[in-house]
Amino acid sequence: MTGDDRCTDRDPKRDRAFTLIELLIVITMIAILAGLLFPAFTAIQNQAKRVQAKNDVTQIVTAVNGYYTEYGKYPIDTTVKGTGDATYSTDNNSLFDVLRNMTGTTPGNALNPRGIVFIQPPISKVSNPAKAGLDSAGVWYDPWGSRYVIMIDGNYDNQLPNPYTQNAGPTTLATGVIAWSFGTDGQSGSVPGPAPDKNAGNAADDVISWQ
């Protein structure tokens, strides 16, 4: 074998190997693509949570109305909430205990003597704080980790004050029950309310049942 022959011989394994620079270029490209795709992925994930929250508040309203159809009254403990319109936020478990026919973790509820289960929320897989489901106390959290808020017409005049002054319907809502979520930021001026504008500030991402 001549010297020229030795110079032209090449190792096929070396031809197939990445150089350090090529490897760094590939890693950089992957990082750039990930950076471009992450906002889109986050937006899709958040939209899915909004759909879930909308479904949940619709189920809540349906369950309360189902209770009214069955018993001819709303599932309000008047010894605790009085006889006026009732709002459940941090204590929404007291409402869901009735609708689930539970007293805490024990089956059976005095306000649901026929033992009807009007709603079955999922159990949260996350704790401290809980997200997307019931915690051990029966509080129902939205997909972002805030408690669902429910207002019920305890006056039985088919009127509820709108928790928002603009972009959420009339000042007085002609309905017996509404429910809503604080959305992505977990904040809202709707409680104690009313928030100045449904489409502004920390209320802009709220998910409501009546629109």
Q: What is the DSSP string of 79-130?
A: HHH-SS-EEESTTHHHHHHHHTTEETTEE--TT-TT------PPBPS-TTTT
DSSP 8: H
User: Count of domains in the chain?
Assistant: 1
Closest CA to 163 of 141, 180, 147: 180
Average pLDDT over residues 16-43: 76
The reply to whether 33 falls in a domain is yes
Give φ, ψ of 125 to 5 degrees: -90, -5
The reply to whether 13 falls in a domain is no
The reply to whether 6 falls in a domain is no
pTM: 0.82
The answer to whether the beta carbons of residues 53 and 207 sit under 8 Å apart is: yes
**Residue 10: predicted pLDDT:** 55
CA pair distance 145, 66, nearest whole angstrom: 26
Average of per-residue pLDDT values in the chain:
90
CA pair distance 59, 159, nearest whole angstrom: 20
Closest CA to 98 of 73, 126, 122: 73
The reply to whether 4 falls in a domain is no
Which residues make beta-bridge pairs with 161? Answer: 172
Domain span holding position 127: 18-208
pLDDT at 133 over 90: yes
pLDDT at 115 over 80: yes
Closest CA to 74 of 176, 209, 210: 176
Q: Which run of H or E residues covers position 56?
A: helix 20-71
The reply to whether 9 falls in a domain is no
**Residue 202: predicted pLDDT:** 96
The reply to whether 7 falls in a domain is no
The answer to whether the beta carbons of residues 154 and 84 sit under 8 Å apart is: yes
The token duo for 145 is: 């980790």
CA pair distance 204, 197, nearest whole angstrom: 8
The token duo for 45 is: 């994930």
pLDDT tens digits for 138-191?
A: 999 999 999 999 999 999 999 999 999 999 999 999 999 999 999 999 999 999
**pLDDT above 70 coverage of the chain, percent:** 89
